[in-house]
């Protein structure tokens, strides 16, 4: 099987299973790399041995555990779902996943970022960044909001088909209600112009085939529409799409550089900050779990940081202090003074 055939099978199966376009792109990219590696190295053995060799080479080349897992999932999907081949127990050298402390920006760092981040390219990026922190959203979630998903009277946002294909409801901060209301008016105006011009909005799945009028309904319009129309990569039709995530990432990155904030402060870290700061404020962890869309409470508990301020180092109980490169007893310091 050549590379184009394998990629075609992956795309077809992903669409049949209603998998996200980003997953489809990731899987096809790894299948291309795997197919190229097979053609170059021509390893012997059954499919399982070939996969083991490829994954072991990735580990030896110092790929991260997340990249290796992505590659394994893509290749497993190719063999199992597209070719009907079970690989069995793949015993490859795997990169070890480091146990890293999840970075969460401090409250004052988030304040400075929110005050500094700027709109760009005609997009209300400041509002989007405020929603990321104010609602604990992933960077893909506010851009996928549609007008029908916003309940201003009850201060609620419904996040549709988020990670794990799950819907959830989050609280819209009162401080952002007026800004969201103004953006809704802008989005409706764009939707009205598109309806008059015959330009449909991008709809999920095959809804545009089953319900053609939905593509011109203002309720299905994106809250943050793109400035220009584009060709939908799956159906090849010109549509109105939403603001791209890259614009948000660039805006946050530029603000972080201007303010000399830690480079780990990214749009996604604002979601971590929301969870951490909410827990520090005494919010119920079960409520936070629901708002973040976590299936397991253990996932939410990683935002519970130990109260390190309550721990006193044993060295402080020795009555020592540092002065002029010498360690002295506190009694000696009092005598010298």
Confidence of residue 334 (pLDDT cuts 50, 70, 90): very low
Domains along the chain?
3-82 (1.10.150.130), 100-311 (1.10.443.10)
State the average pLDDT for the chain.
84
pTM of the model: 0.74
Residue 246 CB partners (closer than 8 Å, separation 6+): none
pLDDT tens for 165-211 read 788 889 999 999 999 999 999 999 999 999 999 999 988 877 777 88
Question: What pLDDT, on the 0 to 100 scale, is given for residue 266?
Answer: 94
User: Does residue 331 have a pLDDT over 80?
Assistant: no
Categorize the per-residue pLDDT at 141 as very low, low, confident or very high, splitting at 50, 70 and 90: very high
**155 against 318, higher pLDDT:** 155
In the prediction, which pLDDT does 337 show? Answer: 44
Q: How far is CA 54 from CA 6, 43, 97, 245, in A?
A: 17, 9, 18, 32
136 has pLDDT over 80: yes
Q: Return d(Cα 161, Cα 207) in angstroms, integer.
A: 15
pLDDT digits (tens, 9 = 90+) for 70-122: 998 999 998 888 888 888 888 776 666 665 567 789 999 999 999 999 999 99
User: Residue 131: what pLDDT?
Assistant: 95
Question: Token digits for 264?
Answer: 């780990």
| Residue 217 CB contacts under 8 Å (≥ 6 apart), including other chains | none
* Inter-CA distances, 198 with 149, 160, 321, Å: 23, 26, 76
d(CA 162, CA 229): 24
In angstroms, rounded to a whole number, what is the distance separating the alpha carbons of residues 68 and 142? Answer: 29
Mean pLDDT of 5-13: 83
Distance (Å, rounded) from C-alpha 105 to C-alpha 272? 8
**In the predicted model, is pLDDT for residue 313 greater than 70?**
no
């Amino acid at each position: 099987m050549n590379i184009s055939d394998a990629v075609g099978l992956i795309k077809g199966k992903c669409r049949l299973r209603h998998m996200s376009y980003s997953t489809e792109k990731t899987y096809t990219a790894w299948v291309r790399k795997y197919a190229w590696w097979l053609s170059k190295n021509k390893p012997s053995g059954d499919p399982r041995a070939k996969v083991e060799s490829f994954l072991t080479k990735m580990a030896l080349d110092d790929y991260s555990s997340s990249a290796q897992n992505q590659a394994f999932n893509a290749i497993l999907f190719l063999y199992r779902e597209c070719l009907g081949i079970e690989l069995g127990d793949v015993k490859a050298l795997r990169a070890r996943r480091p146990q890293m402390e999840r970075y969460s920006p401090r409250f004052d760092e988030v304040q400075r970022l929110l005050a500094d981040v700027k709109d760009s390219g005609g997009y209300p990026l400041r509002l989007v960044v405020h929603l990321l922190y104010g609602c604990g959203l992933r960077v893909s979630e506010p851009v996928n909001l549609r007008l029908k998903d916003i309940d201003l009277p009850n201060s609620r946002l419904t996040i549709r088909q988020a990670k794990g294909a799950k819907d959830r409801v989050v609280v819209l901060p009162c401080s952002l209600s007026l800004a969201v209301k103004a953006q809704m008016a802008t989005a409706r105006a764009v939707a009205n112009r598109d309806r008059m011009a015959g330009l449909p909005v991008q709809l999920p799945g095959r809804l545009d085939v089953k319900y053609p009028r939905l593509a011109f309904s203002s309720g299905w319009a994106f809250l943050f529409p793109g400035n220009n129309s584009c060709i939908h990569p799956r159906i090849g039709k010109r549509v109105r799409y939403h603001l791209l995530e890259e614009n948000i990432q660039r805006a946050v990155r530029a603000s972080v550089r201007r303010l000399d904030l830690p480079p780990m402060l990214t749009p996604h870290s604002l979601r971590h900050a929301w969870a951490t700061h909410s827990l520090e404020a005494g919010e119920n962890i079960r409520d936070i779990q629901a708002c973040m869309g976590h299936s397991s409470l253990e996932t939410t508990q990683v935002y519970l940081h130990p109260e390190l301020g309550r721990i006193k180092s044993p060295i402080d109980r020795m009555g020592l202090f540092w002065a002029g490169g010498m360690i002295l007893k506190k009694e000696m310091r009092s005598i010298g003074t």
